[in-house]
Amino acid sequence: MLPLSGSRHLHRSIGVVCAALLLSACSSTTDVGHKDDKSEPEVTATPTMSLTVGLEFPLDAYEATQQERDAVEQGHNALVTQCMERFGFSYSPPQRPVTKAASGPNSRIFGLVDPKEAAQYGYGSPGEPEPPAKTDKNLTETEELALHGVPGLTPADMPMSQAEAEKKGGSKQKINGKAVPVGGCGREAFLKLYAPEPNAVDALYVFNLKSEAESKAREDSRVKAVNKRWSECMAKQGHTAVDPMDAREDLGIADDALSSPAAITAAKADVACKQKVNLVGVYFAVQSAYQNRQINKNAETLNLAKQQLKDRLKLAASLSS
């Protein structure tokens, strides 16, 4: 079984993680804050909720879906292949496993909440871990140069947009008389998708806004109050735990005992207490309020990010047609 530890945190797709590594020098901060940012945003209504399957947050509208991320990943692979062909190489990018997202990206955002899963798996998680992506095999030194560029490059050495890369004309290294892109074909493919022009929004911009909203919500008085009620409920069931998002750790359940009888008993109490105090409803309402504040504060950049996502998907689709 897979541990639930860390499952509440926002998920980074493979493509976004690659983007972060490739564009690490880009700014990922939010816009200048408003004077009321230290106040708690108003929550007009708190829904009664117990499950998180299919849950949608305000900022989700500005991020790619899993299907769209997979499409962009395929587009990236196509661009890498095309670039390698320019240098006379027949190259097939490693295929990543098909993403399994039956319950939606937010199904575990508030940790364990499903009573059926608690009763069956305790603090384990159903399913098996996905196999890792296959790695490049049998590349020659010249192919490695074409794919990754010269080793040891820092973000400062890299162009930050495809427009900049084309203006500079590539690196000093040449293969078959053609200049290798700085950072190789992988970098070029990324820039064409994520940063064709200097005004490209950081690939992690929306993720960072979500993360900031989540952090602020965790410190909100309404969230702390429901956490206290949950903790009191757990105490009545004979379990000592303070933070529902770290319940497994608080309860001292080891990684090799996630689905043990004791873990299942504690997990069932955990979920029952979350339902009793409407923890999911409170968390969702408060976190949504902070996200809506982020949307109002960063509307211009978010709209630009949304348009650039459309452009990215259009380019990716054209590469597979």
Do the domain assignments include residue 291? yes
- Higher pLDDT, residue 24 or 296: 296
What is the tens place of the pLDDT at every residue in 54-70? 899 999 999 999 999 99
Residue whose tokens read 């399913």: 127
Domain holding 231, by residue range, is 2-23+62-320
Handedness of CA 29, 30, 34, 39 (dihedral sign): negative
* Whether residue 306 has pLDDT greater than 90: yes
Best-predicted range by mean pLDDT (4-8, 11-15, 31-35, 119-123):
119-123
Do the domain assignments include residue 146? yes
Q: How far apart are CA 132 and CA 214, in angstroms?
A: 29
Per-residue confidence (pLDDT) for residue 107, from 0 to 100: 83
Per-residue confidence (pLDDT) for residue 132, from 0 to 100: 55
Do the domain assignments include residue 165? yes
Mean pLDDT of 264-272: 98
Q: How many residues are listed for the chain in this entry? A: 321
Question: At 54, which amino acid appears?
Answer: G
Half-sphere exposure of residue 166: CA atoms within 13 angstroms, side-chain side: 10
Do the domain assignments include residue 38? no
Q: How confident is the model at residue 84 (pLDDT cuts 50, 70, 90)?
A: very high
Into how many domains does the chain fold?
A: 1
Helical axes 279-297 vs 221-236, angle rounded to 10°: 160
Question: With b meaning 16 or more CB within 10 Å and e meaning fewer, what string describes 255-283?
Answer: eeebbeeebbbbbbbbbebbbebbbbbbb
Q: How far apart are CA 271 and CA 182, in angstroms?
A: 51
pTM of this prediction exceeds 0.75: yes
Q: How confident is the model at residue 105 (pLDDT cuts 50, 70, 90)?
A: confident
Q: How confident is the model at residue 125 (pLDDT cuts 50, 70, 90)?
A: confident
Question: With b meaning 16 or more CB within 10 Å and e meaning fewer, what string describes 128-163?
Answer: eeeeeeeeeeeeeeebebbbbbeeeeeeeebbbbbb
Do the domain assignments include residue 41? no
Do the domain assignments include residue 144? yes
Mean pLDDT of 237-244: 96
Task: Name the residue among 223, 260, 263, 257 with its Cα closest to residue 243.
Answer: 223
* Whether residue 119 has pLDDT greater than 90: yes
Do the domain assignments include residue 50? no
Mean pLDDT of 312-318: 97
Question: At 271, which amino acid appears?
Answer: V
* Whether residue 2 has pLDDT greater than 70: no
Task: Name the residue among 131, 191, 206, 135 with its Cα closest to residue 161.
Answer: 191
* Whether residue 8 has pLDDT greater than 80: no
The token pair at 30 is 């939010």
Q: How confident is the model at residue 24 (pLDDT cuts 50, 70, 90)?
A: very low
Question: At 212, which amino acid appears?
Answer: E
* Whether residue 289 has pLDDT greater than 60: yes
**Exposed, middle or buried, 306 (CB in 10 Å: 0-12/13-18/19+)?**
middle
- 139 Cβ partners below 8 Å, 6+ apart? 147
Do the domain assignments include residue 36? no
